[in-house]
């Protein structure tokens, strides 16, 4: 009923039990462990549409013992062919507010197949965010189409599926690496249920990082000598 927290934590570690400090943390862990594979290590790639979220996520990774490795030269060259020349050229990969969906999908596929990381956090990869423009009627038609695909998945041409969520599901299955999204809006807006690995979204980078830290700790338990 009551006792030393140090003793309980030692017992939890020995038994491979995940300790959640809050009820919210408990639910976050349940969602991630039920939907994603356990990473093979603690190396994280961060993909973000804006630099601020990348910095916040990288800081949270450092505070939680997760490693954000630098990008190798061959990956930098590949991203140079996808992103504007003023992108971050490092990890976190800052897409400098590129709003069309194709670059995000291309970058995700490259990162998932990179052997130098064990997990990916995508800041703003998918979610039900909608945008309002006072002079929307004056926007070029091709720009309107891009905005619909990027920010309103429910109206995309993927049978009411967010294309980023579909790709994340496929990449998780192919690589065995967890990919966690930090959403720009409601993470479930306009989506139908997906089988097998479910895309996992959290509303803040800190919650995504805390869950990933616990998953990496569980991997260390699984890999430890019996």
**Per-residue model confidence as pLDDT tens digits over 200-217:** 889 999 999 999 999 999
The mean pLDDT value for 1-20 works out to: 73
Domain residue ranges of the chain, discontinuous segments joined by +: 5-223
* Whether 175 contacts 113, CB under 8 Å: yes
Section 123-148 average pLDDT = 48
Token duo for residue 19: 């300790």
Q: Is 59 exposed, middle or buried (0-12, 13-18, 19+ CB in 10 A)?
A: middle
Domain 5-223 adopts which CATH fold? Answer: Rossmann fold (3.40.50)
Residue 198 has pLDDT above 60, yes or no: yes
> How far is residue 224's CA from residue 226's CA, in Å, rounded to a whole number?
6
40 has pLDDT over 90: yes
The whole-number pLDDT of residue 75 equals 96
Least confident of 10-24, 125-139, 157-171, 204-218: 125-139
Rounded to whole angstroms, the Cα distance separating 112 from 15 reads 31
* Cβ contacts of 6 within 8 Å, gap of 6 or more: none
Place of tokens 């929307």: 136
């Amino acid at each position: 009923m009551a006792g030393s927290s140090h003793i309980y934590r030692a017992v939890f570690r020995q038994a491979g039990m995940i300790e959640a400090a809050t009820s919210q943390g408990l639910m976050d862990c349940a969602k991630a462990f039920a939907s994603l594979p356990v990473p093979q290590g603690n190396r994280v790639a961060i993909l973000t549409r804006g630099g601020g979220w990348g910095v916040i996520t990288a800081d949270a990774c450092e505070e939680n013992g997760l490693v954000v490795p630098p990008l190798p030269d061959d990956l930098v060259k590949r991203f140079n062919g996808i992103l504007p020349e003023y992108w971050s050229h490092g990890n976190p990969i800052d897409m400098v507010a590129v709003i069309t969906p194709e670059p995000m999908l291309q970058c995700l596929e490259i990162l998932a197949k990179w052997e130098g990381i064990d997990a990916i956090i995508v800041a703003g990869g998918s979610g039900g965010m909608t945008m309002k423009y006072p002079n929307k009627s004056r926007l070029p038609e091709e720009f309107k189409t891009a905005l619909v695909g990027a920010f309103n998945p429910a109206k995309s041409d993927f049978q009411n599926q967010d294309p980023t969520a579909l790709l994340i599901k496929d990449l998780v299955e192919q690589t065995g690496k967890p990919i966690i999204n930090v959403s720009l809006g409601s993470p479930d807006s306009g989506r139908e249920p997906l089988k097998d690995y479910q895309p996992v979204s959290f509303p803040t980078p800190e919650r995504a990082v805390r869950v990933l830290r616990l998953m990496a700790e569980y991997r260390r338990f699984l890999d430890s000598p019996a």
